[in-house]
């Protein structure tokens, strides 16, 4: 990644850190000191958020097959549209899936949301754009 691009990413991350949260839960100006809870006990809480992985950077499309293999993907749907399916990023993604032995089907009728084909694919989905 070029130095200018790294600097821009670092700048944007700093701006996000400085942005004050305006939601009612986090916009207060106080904080509770450890050990001052009403019960006197502190409890560790854990939670899990199931979210999509979004990877950004030069060459990450070449790694999609490796990533899906590491996740145990069995039947992948590569979703794109008719125009993107003719461009190099989609071919790079398909090459990566083939190289890593991941069975896949290309669904290139995506318009807005790719929900029409969801019931055909039980394992994973991958979406490509332009690099």
Which DSSP string corresponds to 7-65? Answer: HHHHHHHHHHHHSPP-STTT--S--PPTT-STTS----------------STTGGGGHH
pLDDT at 131: 44
Q: How confident is the model at residue 119 (pLDDT cuts 50, 70, 90)?
A: low
Q: Which helix (H) or strand (E) holds 77?
A: strand 76-79
Q: Which CATH class is domain 60-127?
A: alpha beta
pLDDT at 12: 79
Asked whether the predicted pLDDT for residue 114 surpasses 60, the reply is no
Domain ranges for the chain: 60-127
Each residue's pLDDT tens digit, 27-74: 555 555 555 555 555 666 666 666 666 778 888 899 999 989 988 988
Asked whether the predicted pLDDT for residue 94 surpasses 60, the reply is yes
Better-scored residue on pLDDT, 23 or 111: 111
* Kind of pairing between the strands at 104-107 and 76-79: parallel
Better-scored residue on pLDDT, 114 or 66: 66
Q: How confident is the model at residue 113 (pLDDT cuts 50, 70, 90)?
A: low
8 Å CB contact between 18 and 10: no
8 Å CB contact between 65 and 53: no
């Amino acid at each position: 990644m070029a130095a200018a691009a790294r600097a821009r990413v670092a700048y944007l991350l700093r701006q996000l850190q400085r942005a004050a949260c305006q939601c009612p839960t986090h916009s207060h100006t106080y904080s509770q000191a450890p050990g001052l809870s009403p019960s006197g006990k502190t409890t560790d809480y854990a939670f899990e958020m199931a979210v999509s992985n979004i990877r950004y950077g030069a060459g990450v499309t070449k790694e999609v097959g490796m990533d899906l293999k590491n996740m145990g993907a069995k039947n992948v749907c590569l979703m794109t549209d008719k125009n993107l399916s003719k461009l190099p990023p989609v071919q790079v993604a398909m090459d990566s899936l083939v190289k890593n032995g991941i069975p896949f089907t290309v669904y290139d009728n995506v318009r807005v949301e790719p929900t029409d084909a969801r019931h055909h694919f039980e394992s994973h989905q991958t979406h490509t754009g332009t690099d």
